[in-house]
Structure 1
């Protein structure tokens, strides 16, 4: 690769990255969060879209004529931007992984549309200038409209070959879970706190249950319905001020501005004389302008946590 081609390649990658970092800075200033916020559709979709359009606009016309180039070339500055934010601890690993699919798809769409204007329109610079300024116009409008709160349910179950009383003993109180029994693959990959134990002060309505996780995360639970060996429902409260700042990304804190778990229920169903089905579901809420996308991740994380606890309860009940 000669010097001219190298400089062109660097320009194609670095200019979109600089633009993305600029937006990240503006949208990350806490005193401007009423106008610009990272937890917005504008940041999540429009930033990578513009990066894609910029990448293709800065590329040679000959390359832009190829569909594969318009689709995949925008991924280079996207990966560059994400790597920089990770290295300098601007963003945490969980957030980066969650936004990656949307960033890649939106950047490809931006590349395709940017390619269309580059190949067919004469006043490309005008369109590109308008596009680059759009986040600064749309974000205040989005914040003015406000985020929407939606409720969701995460449902899981497991079949256990053990007596009801043995299963129920492992439901009401979960003894300390060693790391080797932890099978929560998604939460482990995201470096989320893992479950340690659960303590209940007595069996009955009004009882207090504490579900303790690593890194200082505690779910305070109050029993609202109790039928011995059959059903236990409880409210769930996580207190953000109790959670150390290093435990979770500020945008993912349980009980925070965007995500909260409301309540949960265990129910034991007899399938036959020897086998029981243990149901576990929880209700949670999201408050964002992109709940449709965020709910997929939240539901997957909640199910991973619940399946992890259920498999521990099955292992212990059957081994006992």
Structure 2
């Protein structure tokens, strides 16, 4: 049992910092939580028993941080600290970083094992103090902000007025929308939208229970329709991913726009355009994830609308 203490304490270590994210001491979308914590997570087994990582196969060096990362995310998922979407976002940095750090540490330890068990308490304090201190310092620096615009176009065999009338209150798409790999990874599909002409607000329903409050901000009949998401009035409690992304303003949609072009009396070209910005201290990862997820969302929604309208 003792040989697994490194994994157990690594899982508890990561869960402690996930709790700090929950009470808003640390930010989910930060260098600290996505990079620094996995680095120190990999250090814990070496702190407890460095010699065993030199004497045994390199497989142990890889499996310990890999197992600890997966178990941490699994426990967080079971206790609803994370949903499948945020779990998938966290898995790559935690696994890759912790395994790489573990391999580097094995090389360092193999050169010279100079281990004093009395230093555990001091080292443990260091492991806790550095990420907490770094996380609080990080909050004083503005996150890098990047703006993006993603759009896709589809041709629908229907008059422009018919297409237009299906954009305010989008019909139920449950049987029309296709699943993609992102759905199996926990990201939801849109189901339908209900429009209230009195408030000029559309409610967008997703299959995971999320409801987005979308205010109409621009309307040019048969030509252009734009929405702005009101995060405060949206219902995001069913998705940790949506809460992380929207409530902390890690991703902000400036507008979601439909553009229509009449091709002839029975055909319409429909473009869906998402104008958004991401705020993150890990820009390369945030950009990669947001672009792929939004592109997938637009593609499925346009195809589902086409299928539904042409029925």
TM interval, shorter chain, is 0.7 to 0.9
Q: TM-score, normalised by structure 1?
A: 0.78
- Indicate conservation of the 8 Å contact 1:267/1:280, yes or no: yes
Shift of 1:123: 4.4
Three-state SS of the structure 1 residue aligned to 2:75 is helix
RMSD value over aligned CA atoms? 3.3
Query: Is 2:180 aligned against 1:180?
Result: no
- Indicate conservation of the 8 Å contact 1:193/1:247, yes or no: no
Q: TM-score, normalised by structure 2?
A: 0.80
Q: Which residue is 2:53 aligned to? A: 60
Three-state SS of the structure 2 residue aligned to 1:267 is strand
Query: Is 2:138 aligned against 1:147?
Result: no
Q: Which residue is 1:3 aligned to? A: none
Q: 1:14 aligns with which of 8, 13, 18?
A: 8
Shift of 1:133: 4.2
- Residues 90, 17 of structure 1: CA spacing in aligned structure 2 closer, same or farther, 3 A cutoff? same
Query: Is 2:257 aligned against 1:261?
Result: no
Q: Distance in 2 between matches of 1:82 and 1:29?
A: 18
Shift of 1:110: 1.3
- Indicate conservation of the 8 Å contact 2:169/2:192, yes or no: no
Three-state SS of the structure 2 residue aligned to 1:252 is helix
Residues 160-199 of structure 1 aligned to structure 2 (within 5 Å): 160-177=156-173, 179-185=174-180, 186-187=182-183, 189-190=185-186, 192=188, 194-199=190-195
Residues 173-252 of structure 1 aligned to structure 2 (within 5 Å): 173-177=169-173, 179-185=174-180, 186-187=182-183, 189-190=185-186, 192=188, 194-199=190-195, 201=197, 208-214=200-206, 215=209, 217-226=211-220, 228=222, 231-243=223-235, 245-249=237-241, 251-252=243-244
| Gap regions ≥5 residues in structure 2 | none
Q: Distance in 2 between matches of 1:208 and 1:61?
A: 66
- Residues 276, 234 of structure 1: CA spacing in aligned structure 2 closer, same or farther, 3 A cutoff? closer
The count of aligned residue pairs is 300
Q: Which residue is 1:288 aligned to? A: 280
- Residues 164, 225 of structure 1: CA spacing in aligned structure 2 closer, same or farther, 3 A cutoff? closer
- Residues 62, 194 of structure 1: CA spacing in aligned structure 2 closer, same or farther, 3 A cutoff? same
